[in-house]
């Protein structure tokens, strides 16, 4: 069965950008968050075939040659590798990731890529495709985007904050994890990147959960009342047994003896239910009054 992440990514993979300017922004997000970039090669890794296909489609629009391989380890990840030197230097320049002082790769988000509002969305979508996961909302609310690079993490957190999203940061296995556990933030995020079906699915699950929770709450209240009934009943029974052992139930008045016998025979009944067994029936407070008297008598013994 598809995970919720796969479901979301599959929806995104089917949708193309409405503006062509967004293609590079999306590719950049995927590359920065899903690749290992050196001056010799750009190695994009994913476990998702759809994401791989999307990456290759976008790269192809910029005439970048991509070779595909598969890792032999258990994760069976797909690899898309760019190894042509000209392609790499062209990409690195367009991405703005060459440090002018050292000539080395720096993982940062260049303002040039995200200058249009539409491209911000495309970049965030690419980042999610490359390094994001969202847990099945039936289990928990959690969406996260991971990178080992501090600069990239800081730039992305900035970008998300400017776009109105509140994300938190935690370190996991020396990686920076940007995450949110708030369902409203996940909802908005999914719609921001164009995953409307995933957003609807999350909303539906949330409603289901709320109905379930309110049902559970009412059951809990009933069982709390039930516990009270049992506690009281235990007290009554102890008192009645003490009386029987010490003086015998025949020493009680008819009214009290009647309720004592009913109580012993119906240990889990509420006072109201006990009262209905009497002839003529007696209300809750009447039953309570008689049982209180029984407790008083047992205490005096």
Residues that bind Zn ion (CB under 5 A): 19, 21-22, 116, 118-119
Q: Between 126 and 275, whose beta carbon lies closer to Zn ion?
A: 126
Rounded-to-integer distance, Cα 271 and Cα 96, Å: 78
Minimum Å gap between C-beta 20 and Zn ion is: 8
Q: Between 118 and 237, whose beta carbon lies closer to Zn ion?
A: 118
Q: Between 21 and 56, whose beta carbon lies closer to Zn ion?
A: 21
Q: Between 19 and 169, whose beta carbon lies closer to Zn ion?
A: 19
Closest CA to 294 of 271, 272, 269, 268: 271
Minimum Å gap between C-beta 41 and Zn ion is: 28
Q: Between 124 and 256, whose beta carbon lies closer to Zn ion?
A: 124
**Which residues is 143 bridged to in the sheet?**
134, 180
Minimum Å gap between C-beta 18 and Zn ion is: 8
Rounded-to-integer distance, Cα 291 and Cα 296, Å: 9
CA-CA-CA-CA dihedral for 87, 90, 92, 94, to nearest 10: -140
Name residues whose C-beta falls within 8 Å of residue 43's C-beta, 6 or more positions apart in sequence.
35, 36, 37, 79, 80, 81
In the three-class reduction of DSSP (H, G, I as helix; E, B as strand; rest coil), residue 179 is classed as strand
For residues 147 and 129, is the Cβ–Cβ distance under 8 A?
A: no
Q: Between 31 and 294, whose beta carbon lies closer to Zn ion?
A: 31
Minimum Å gap between C-beta 114 and Zn ion is: 9
Would the CA dihedral through 184, 188, 191, 195 be positive or negative? Answer: negative
Minimum Å gap between C-beta 119 and Zn ion is: 4
To which H or E segment does residue 146 belong? strand 143-147
For residues 23 and 58, is the Cβ–Cβ distance under 8 A?
A: yes
Minimum Å gap between C-beta 118 and Zn ion is: 3
Minimum Å gap between C-beta 35 and Zn ion is: 21
For residue 290, the tally of other CB atoms under 10 A from its CB is 24
Q: Between 3 and 18, whose beta carbon lies closer to Zn ion?
A: 18
Q: Between 22 and 59, whose beta carbon lies closer to Zn ion?
A: 22
Minimum Å gap between C-beta 197 and Zn ion is: 22
Rounded-to-integer distance, Cα 62 and Cα 60, Å: 5
Closest CA to 41 of 79, 96, 94: 79
């Amino acid at each position: 069965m598809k995970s919720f992440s796969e479901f979301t990514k599959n929806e995104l993979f089917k949708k193309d950008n409405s503006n062509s300017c967004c293609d590079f922004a999306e590719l950049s997000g995927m590359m920065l968050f899903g690749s290992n970039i050196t001056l010799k090669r750009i190695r994009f890794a994913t476990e998702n075939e759809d994401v791989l296909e999307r990456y290759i489609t976008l790269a192809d629009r910029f005439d970048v040659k991509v070779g595909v391989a598969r890792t032999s380890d258990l994760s069976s990840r797909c690899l898309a590798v760019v190894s042509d030197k000209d392609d790499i230097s062209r990409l690195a320049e367009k991405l703005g990731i060459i440090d002018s002082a050292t000539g080395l790769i720096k993982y940062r988000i260049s303002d040039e890529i995200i200058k249009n509002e539409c491209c911000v969305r495309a970049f965030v979508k690419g980042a999610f495709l490359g390094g994001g996961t969202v847990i099945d909302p039936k289990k928990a609310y959690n969406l996260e985007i991971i990178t080992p690079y501090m600069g990239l993490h800081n730039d992305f957190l900035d970008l998300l904050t400017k776009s109105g999203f509140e994300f938190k940061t935690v370190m996991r296995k020396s990686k920076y994890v940007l995450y949110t556990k708030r369902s409203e933030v996940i909802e908005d995020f999914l719609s921001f990147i164009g995953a409307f079906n995933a957003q609807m699915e999350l909303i539906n699950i949330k409603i289901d959960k709320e109905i379930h929770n309110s049902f559970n709450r009412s059951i809990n209240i009933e069982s709390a009342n039930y516990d009270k009934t049992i506690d009281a009943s235990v007290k009554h029974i102890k008192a009645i047994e003490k009386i029987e052992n010490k003086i015998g139930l025949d020493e009680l008045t008819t009214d009290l003896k009647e309720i004592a016998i009913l109580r012993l025979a119906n240990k889990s009944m509420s006072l109201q239910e006990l009262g209905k067994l009497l002839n003529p029936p007696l209300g809750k407070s009447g039953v309570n009054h008689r049982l209180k008297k029984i407790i008083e008598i047992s205490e005096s013994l």
